[in-house]
Amino acid sequence: MKIDLTGRTAVITGGSRGLGEAMAKALAEAGAWIALVARDTQKLAEVRDAIAKSGGVAEFFVGDVTSEADVARVAGEVKQRFGAPQILVNNAGINIRKNLVDYTLEEFRSVMDASLTSTFLMCRAFVPGMKGTGYGRVINMSSIMGHVSLPGRTAYSSAKTALLGLTRALALELAADAITVNCLSPGPFATEMNTVVMNNPELNAQFLAAVPAGRWGDAGEIGSLACYLCSEAAGFITGTDILIDGGWTAH
């Protein structure tokens, strides 16, 4: 299916690498203008330049999406550059893997803030600009860890499960405005977030044994799914979650 997002602007948090970078490139290829939001100027510039080299349009905006002040500033900068974006991908997130009793409160909050609070702040800043346009798309990055879990994932699973609730409630608030709100729940994808697993042969084998497809996901597969959710064809999909996990949660 040919997906044409010409005339749309997509804001992507955590767009400097990994799944965010892949979604940015896929949406740009479909014709959307891309506003990358993250903290690493050099990596953001590399992604912006790569998109431009492929004939796309992108700009980056440096900010911490857990900071209310940064989100307000970035929202202003994005609107000045591109007008009001109609696509928002809340992709930024972090994972700290350790048992609950070893967590500091600061660490727990940082995991919750990176996925959940950032999504609240970004939606509050960008959703009003989608209203009245007859089209809007919000994609929130949950995880299989929002559905099942593993030891050492209390904060991460809490944040990713909470995103499913935020998504359902916001979808109901926005459905009449033709703005869809959905989650993606990836299984294991070969990104920097997982190098600690991939570089440990025992852990790597454990992970792969849990994936019926027998492999790590490819970031491009998330890009294609994000494009589909942003297409006109997906206008009736809202308030839900799409697992993309090679079968991890099927058993």
79 is a contact residue toward ligand NAD (CB under 6 A): no
Element (H, E) at 83: none
Length of the chain counted residue by residue: 251
Distance CA 175, CA 6 (A): 23
Query: Which CB, 152 or 235, lies closer to ligand NAD?
Result: 152
Helix, coil or strand: residue 215:
coil
Of the candidates 21, 75, 38, 28, the one whose C-alpha atom is nearest the C-alpha of residue 230 is 28
Query: Which CB, 136 or 188, lies closer to ligand NAD?
Result: 188
CB of 19 to ligand NAD, least distance (A): 4
User: In the block, which residue shows the tokens 């697992």?
Assistant: 243
Instruction: Select the span of 23-31, 64-72, 77-85, 229-237 touching ligand NAD (CB under 6 A).
Output: 64-72
- Cα-Cα-Cα-Cα torsion 199, 205, 212, 210, nearest 10 degrees, comes to -90
Task: Lay out the site mask for ligand NAD across 159-198 (x = CB under 6 A, - = otherwise).
Answer: ---------------------------x-xx-xxxx----
Angle 168-78-161 (CA atoms, 0-180°, nearest 5)?
25
Question: For this structure, is 156 an active site residue?
Answer: yes
Query: Which CB, 115 or 158, lies closer to ligand NAD?
Result: 115
Specify burial of residue 86 (Cβ count, 10 A radius: 0-12, 13-18, 19+): buried
Query: Which CB, 36 or 127, lies closer to ligand NAD?
Result: 36
74 is a contact residue toward ligand NAD (CB under 6 A): no
Of the candidates 250, 219, 245, the one whose C-alpha atom is nearest the C-alpha of residue 23 is 219
Distance CA 234, CA 136 (A): 11
CB of 133 to ligand NAD, least distance (A): 26
Q: Which of 24, 33, 66, 74 binds ligand NAD (CB under 6 A)?
A: 66
146 is a contact residue toward ligand NAD (CB under 6 A): no
Query: Which CB, 93 or 223, lies closer to ligand NAD?
Result: 93
Site residues (CB under 6 A) for ligand NAD? 13-14, 16-20, 38-40, 64-66, 91-94, 114-115, 141, 143, 186, 188-189, 191-194
Residues forming the active site = 156
